[in-house]
Amino acid sequence: MTAFEFCHLSSFSILVPLSAVGWKWTGISKKYPFLVLLLIIGAFNDLISYITITIYGQNTLNGNIYLLVEFVLFGFLFRGWPSYSNNRFHLLILSAGVLVWVGDNLIVHSLFSNNSMSRLVCYVLLVSICIDQLVSTLLNRAGLVILSDILISLAFLFHYIYRAFIESFQLYTTHLEPSYFIRLWVIDNGLNILTNLMITVAFICHRHKPTYSILSSQA
């Protein structure tokens, strides 16, 4: 199997958590509506990317648009979760990401170019949200912890940290061999499979009745 075939095959791993959604629709759709919507849109984006790369050799247009959709939906996903930060923090994160995206994709560059700056900024902002939610969940002494919340936070934390790492190379490095970027791309797609598997496990382990944290005073 070539690197190209592996990367495109890995993109369809998003169908695995979507299958879990269909299995436990009632509980998951109520708890994670924005994540379910993100997975559905992500599946369509992966299909469009496969077609455009096969025909035109690139998917920058739909990739840039999907970045904005992904960023906004992810922000709303965590906005309803318990957090040490108030709503102003989430609003500030969302506003900053949208402004950077508009500036990079519509003013400085176009939607048809590979705009690493907006990707890097959005991924770093998403990492900060993931860390905030993970810490809030683990250290919530007064409340309850849902295992699925922890798995989802960890999955996206690893995912966006590596995405930010890749975009930093795209933005600041121009003298590396193409084979090096291919390796980074293959690792990214392998991590994408792991992310989707962790989300699937989170959906399967989702319970209507949450469990107590080991740090909870009520445990």
Looking at the domain assignment, is residue 177 inside a domain? yes
In the DSSP assignment, the letter for residue 109 is: S
Looking at the domain assignment, is residue 217 inside a domain? no
How large is the average pLDDT for residues 37-51?
92
pLDDT value of residue 63: 93
Looking at the domain assignment, is residue 109 inside a domain? yes
- Tell me: the pLDDT tens digits for 77-123? 877 666 655 667 778 888 999 999 999 999 999 999 988 899 999 99
Looking at the domain assignment, is residue 195 inside a domain? yes
CA distances from 44 to 49, 65, 66, 185 (A): 9, 12, 10, 20
Looking at the domain assignment, is residue 21 inside a domain? yes
Provide the residue range defining the domain that includes 25: 3-212
Alpha helices in 139-177 (DSSP H): 147-172
Band the pLDDT of 219: cuts 50, 70, 90: very low
- Tell me: the pLDDT tens digits for 112-164? 998 889 999 999 999 998 998 888 877 765 444 578 888 999 999 999 999 99
Kind of pairing between the strands at 144-145 and 211-212: antiparallel
pLDDT value of residue 80: 65
pLDDT value of residue 96: 94
pLDDT value of residue 31: 80
Looking at the domain assignment, is residue 219 inside a domain? no
Q: How many domains does the chain have?
A: 1
pLDDT value of residue 140: 67
- CATH number for the domain spanning 202: value is 1.20.1070
pLDDT value of residue 28: 81
Looking at the domain assignment, is residue 104 inside a domain? yes
Crossing angle of helices 87-102 and 60-79, in 10° steps, is 170
- Tell me: the pLDDT tens digits for 160-207? 999 999 988 877 766 667 777 788 888 998 999 999 999 999 888 876
Asked if residue 68 has pLDDT above 60, the reply is yes
Which residue, chain included where needed, has tokens 């003013």? 107
- Closest alpha carbon to 98 in 129, 131, 121, 128: 121
pLDDT value of residue 212: 53
- Tell me: the pLDDT tens digits for 9-33? 788 899 999 998 887 777 787 888 8
Looking at the domain assignment, is residue 218 inside a domain? no
- What is the spatial distance between Cα 172 and Cα 3, in angstroms, rounded to a whole number? 24
Please, are residues 118 and 154 in contact by the beta-carbon 8 Å criterion? no
How large is the average pLDDT for residues 62-76?
92
What pTM, to 2 d.p., does this model score?
0.86
Beta strands per DSSP E along the chain: 144-145, 211-212
